[in-house]
Amino acid sequence: MDYKDTKAPLSTITYNKNEVEAPTENIYEAISIIAKRANQINGDLKKELVDKLEEFATYNDSLEEVFE
């Protein structure tokens, strides 16, 4: 999933507690599910960033090769 195109707002949003709690009928379980999903998204973004950074990584055996 491309998270850049999600059109997510940059400001804080206040959600209605009853709407969040409705599917599970338990606010703590709902928050736990939201936290697990946030961790999944964070993991995906981290993997994407690491993959992009690996494109620029240089693996040299010694510093002498850099100076040559």
- How far is residue 40's CA from residue 68's CA, in Å, rounded to a whole number? 44
Residue 61 has what pLDDT? 58
Q: Domain containing 40: what range?
A: 3-67
Kindly write down the DSSP assignment for every residue of the chain, as one continuous string. --GGGS---SS--PPPHHHHHTTTT-HHHHHHHHHHHHHHHHHHHHHHHHHHHHTT----S-HHHHH-
- Report the number of distinct structural domains present in the chain: 1
Residue 57 C-beta-side C-alpha neighbours within 13 Å: 8
pTM here is 0.62
Structure tokens at 33: 């599910």
- Which tens digits make up the pLDDT trace of 2-41? 766 777 766 778 888 999 899 999 999 999 999 999 999 9
